[in-house]
Amino acid sequence: MDLTAAKGLLYCLLGLFVLVAWARERRKRRLTGEPEKFWPGTTYAPAAAYYIAAAGAILITIAEAAVEKRAGLTDQQSILPAVFLFQLLGASVIEEALFRGFVAPGELMGRKLLALMIIGSLVFALIHNFDLSTAEGKVNALFAFITSLWLYVVRFNPLNPDRSLLPCFMAHTVRNLAVFGIKGAQGFISW
């Protein structure tokens, strides 16, 4: 197993660990009625919250692919190894627990929430380490920023009254799978 595969599998396992720990706390809260302890957003949301979250993630991905195609950037994409899918899956849980969970307390509102959404989304886009000296890197960073804003909206909107992280986990996973699928359809996944 090469280093890229090992890193992807490790990231996936870490994401799985976070998801299982989060789910255990959610289950315990449901059974005992206890308040939130360590893991943030350990509630469920109404079904509409999940549908809207996934639909937004898919629309953002389609928009990004359309902008890349329109700007002639499609051929400039990097080729990803197929095992990168594991890293994408782990990231969808870890990043949500961090950015929409620990850093964004569920009781935030108003200007503080707006400031957190903007600053958090800037940091989110920057940690993805896109090459901002290229047009493709700028487009990818812009859509990472937009995705992050969307994921904050997913957590802090009236369709998610208990501020559950579950729609965020799902929307981020849908987004990452859609990106992987588009890259695969375009021939940028190495099997």
CA pair distance 167, 43, nearest whole angstrom: 10
- The pTM of the full predicted model, rounded to 2 decimals, is 0.93
pLDDT, residue 1, reads 65
The residue with greater pLDDT, 77 or 92, is 92
Q: From start to end of 117-172, where are the E strands?
A: none
Report whether 88 contacts 180 (CB < 8 A): yes
Tens-digit pLDDT profile for residues 145-190: 999 999 999 999 999 999 999 999 999 999 999 999 999 999 999 8
Question: Residue 106's pLDDT is what?
Answer: 87
The CA distance from 119 to 116, in Å, is 5
What is the signed CA dihedral for 167, 169, 175, 176, rounded to 10 degrees?
Answer: -170
Nearest to 13 by CA among 79, 129, 119, 94: 94
Q: Which pLDDT does position 141 carry in this prediction?
A: 97
> Can you tell me the distance from the alpha carbon of 115 to that of 94, in angstroms, rounded to the nearest whole number?
22
What are 116-132's pLDDT values in tens digits?
A: 999 999 999 999 999 99
Per-residue confidence (pLDDT) for residue 86, from 0 to 100: 93
The CA distances from residue 107 to 125, 132, 164, in Å, are 24, 34, 12
Each domain of the chain, given as residue ranges in start order, spans 3-23+47-190
* Residue pLDDT, tens place only, 28-86: 999 998 888 899 999 999 999 999 999 999 999 999 999 999 999 988 888 888 989 99
